[in-house]
Structure 1
């Protein structure tokens, strides 16, 4: 990870695409049912039906030019729509032909034949989704700030593997490798690039709790989108405690909590006394299964290790875990 440039961006286009995939693509990204139904009622019917056919025809693949992330930096939705307006139809047609090696499925073949008409329809659909989710996007401002700081702290402290391990998405990071689901053999090939030549861009999504997307098709970057940490506190205010969503979005002063989250930070701190899982569950007031899950993530990140003492399994910090606590104390 130390050889890969990693950044995080706040990108409304990615969230719009995630919501659109949930609404018409046949794959849930965890958009709350009430919001999903309200949004569906506002979508242009013919445009939504056409998009549903496309997303169903190739396991959800979209040309990179239509993924609404042309600019991989923090932007406004106005910029995203301007980029979409400036996209030439022939570029979309060429990308479709290349993506399917000259033999696109019927739904995409129809788009390649009349790309200008499709672009008009797609633009209406994107604008309608944004109108519906803009309030949620604004409400998530504090959470985005916290996530940007969390990734920044991880980069400075050498703990990016812990961040990658904790992404709640189908893209897994394990033993230094990214495991990507549903790589389609008929889409643009991933040409291996030497470390440092392509950066890794993390894109938090303010759409739903099971959201996730990625792309390896760009020459300059790989981007991985995942649920914005803490989003559940906005989607379900009961999870935010007495302080409500505003309190949940406040950036904590504790750097270790910011980096790992409150449960994993507490586990790592308590691990100095070599506790068992049941000890930790009692101290933290959470279930043993919850402790086990978070311990597994800390072990995978190289911050925690298990050691058997007789009939018990004890948890203790690794040198890397102890160093992280010292660095962030």
Structure 2
């Protein structure tokens, strides 16, 4: 068990964020393992073909199989920025990692597992951080378009939920609600592998929901930017119906329903969700025929909004 001792000043130093690099690592691992996510499906064939590129293959070999740890340098904390800027910053931090530090982390994470020839060569010639950054950049730019927009919608909704919980019930209410392995208590647990005290130099604690990087809780409590990352689908959220709704009708239609709290055009939905207009139009028409949406026209614009059935579905499913 890992215990974080939170000082009285902690609520002001906690920040919620999403990590593009963690999501990229999660999708890359699914592609490598030929696996499928229960919510987002499996990476496409074109995405899997990226694994044949040497630098992408190197990152695959650095990622553990089973329950092993990921080297810390591969998952830097995200800055407060847009997703694109956050990804650029994280990739730059990986690229600038001290080679000796990266080597120590790789050896520690490997345990008794022998290192591949690809990793050994990168360690020998001092190119490991740079090649890992290039491999992740390639996969982020060419392999994440199919899934990141939907994942980001769910992650933004989760962050909004956490911020609302914090406003109404404090950090304790959030930690007790977001993940079964996270909890808030007056007394520290007896069994503790690592303890860090926020009053002794921790500038802020990042709490990172993840959609694709899981299923376990991930923590990095060393350094100047410690974080806790948790999978948002690990525990149902009674106050947020999007999880159950997403499982019932699929992530794209669930995201569209979530954005129709007020009437919108398909163009507005396309821009907000970063989806192709044709994709939005198709799903909207299907949901209208199913009685979940109502259609109205104002001059040259066609608006869609939730029907009474759609509102009941969105409000009642958890």
Q: Give the TM bin, normalised by the shorter chain.
A: 0.5 to 0.7
Aligned counterpart for 1:116 among listed residues 123, 126, 130: 126
Distance 1:222 1:83, change over 3 A: closer
Aligned counterpart for 2:49 among listed residues 41, 44, 63: 41
Please give the residue correspondences for 1:289-328 in structure 2 after superposition, counting only pairs within 5 Å.
Answer: none
The residue that corresponds to 1:214 in the other structure is: 218
The residue that corresponds to 1:158 in the other structure is: 169
Deviation at 1:226, TM superposition (A): 2.0
With the length of structure 1 as denominator, give the TM-score of the two structures: 0.55
SS of 2:80's partner is: coil
Aligned counterpart for 1:193 among listed residues 179, 193, 197: 197
Distance 2:251 2:105 in 1: 44
Contact (CA 8 Å) 1:205, 1:226: kept in 2 or not?
Answer: yes
The residue that corresponds to 2:72 in the other structure is: 64
With the length of structure 2 as denominator, give the TM-score of the two structures: 0.57
Distance 1:120 1:25, change over 3 A: farther
Contact (CA 8 Å) 1:9, 1:148: kept in 2 or not?
Answer: yes
The residue that corresponds to 1:73 in the other structure is: 80
SS of 1:87's partner is: coil
Q: Are 1:22 and 2:30 counterparts? A: yes
Please give the residue correspondences for 1:91-102 in structure 2 after superposition, counting only pairs within 5 Å.
Answer: 91-96=101-106, 99=108
Where do 5+ consecutive residues of structure 1 fail to align? 184-188, 253-283, 295-329
The residue that corresponds to 2:231 in the other structure is: 226
Deviation at 1:43, TM superposition (A): 2.3
The residue that corresponds to 2:158 in the other structure is: 147
Deviation at 1:121, TM superposition (A): 3.6
Distance 1:211 1:86, change over 3 A: same
Distance 2:62 2:15 in 1: 31
CA RMSD between the two structures: 4.5
Distance 2:128 2:44 in 1: 24
Deviation at 1:238, TM superposition (A): 2.0
Distance 2:79 2:25 in 1: 15
Number of aligned positions between the proteins = 242
Cα displacement string for residues 69-98 of structure 1 (whole angstroms, at most 9, x for unaligned residues): 24453443222222233333233124446x
Contact (CA 8 Å) 2:58, 2:132: kept in 1 or not?
Answer: no
Deviation at 1:9, TM superposition (A): 0.5
SS of 2:207's partner is: strand
Contact (CA 8 Å) 1:9, 1:202: kept in 2 or not?
Answer: yes
Distance 1:137 1:195 in 2: 36
The residue that corresponds to 1:132 in the other structure is: 143
